[in-house]
């Protein structure tokens, strides 16, 4: 993959993430406090998809720089850690993304009935801003390579 292909890949991924994050905002309007199980499941699935997109972008950047992350149990935290070490993700954004990663880890090993809709909506309401911040950082990083 060359730099232009990497840029195109990232643009495509960010468009998908922005669409999902926009939907999340509509699923978690301010002031809403009660959610049906189906709504909670949908919010969880959308959040999982957004974080999966974030990981795909970060992993592609790492691969572009010849850093392959092995497919182990620690793969997901390792992607975020390496992206931070390389300067793709600044410390304050790393802290935010770590919250999404923690959710991803919980979601993949839990029953939907164990999800807390209020906590999910806290992440969901920040989704658009988080994706926009990461997009800015990623494009700035690509400019340097």
The torsion angles phi and psi of 112, rounded to 5 degrees, stand at: -60, -35
The domain in which residue 34 lies consists of 3-144
CA 95 to CA 93: how far, in whole Å? Answer: 5
Residue 131 CB partners (closer than 8 Å, separation 6+): 14, 17, 18, 21, 50, 54
Total number of domains constituting the chain: 1
Q: What percent of the chain clears pLDDT 70, i.e. is strictly above it? A: 100
Average pLDDT over residues 44-69: 93
The per-residue pLDDT for 67 is: 78
The per-residue pLDDT for 74 is: 87
CATH number, residue 70 = 1.20.120.580
Confidence of residue 100 (pLDDT cuts 50, 70, 90): very high
CA dihedral of residues 124, 126, 131, 132 (deg, nearest 10)? 140
The per-residue pLDDT for 34 is: 92
* Mean pLDDT, all residues of the chain: 94
The per-residue pLDDT for 65 is: 87
The per-residue pLDDT for 53 is: 98
The per-residue pLDDT for 15 is: 98
């Amino acid at each position: 993959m060359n730099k232009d292909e990497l840029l195109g890949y990232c643009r495509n991924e960010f468009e998908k993430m922005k669409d999902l994050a926009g939907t999340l905002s509509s699923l978690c309007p301010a002031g809403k406090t009660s959610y049906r199980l189906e709504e909670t499941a949908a919010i969880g699935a959308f959040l999982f998809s957004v974080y999966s997109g974030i990981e795909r972008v970060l992993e592609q950047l790492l691969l572009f720089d010849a850093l392959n992350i092995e497919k182990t149990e620690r793969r997901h935290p390792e992607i975020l850690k390496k992206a931070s070490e390389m300067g793709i993700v600044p410390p304050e954004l790393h802290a935010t993304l770590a919250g999404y990663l923690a959710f991803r880890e919980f979601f993949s090993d839990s029953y939907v009935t164990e999800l807390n809709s209020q906590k999910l909506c806290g992440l969901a309401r920040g989704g658009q801003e988080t994706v926009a911040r990461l997009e800015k950082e990623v494009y700035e990083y690509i400019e340097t390579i």
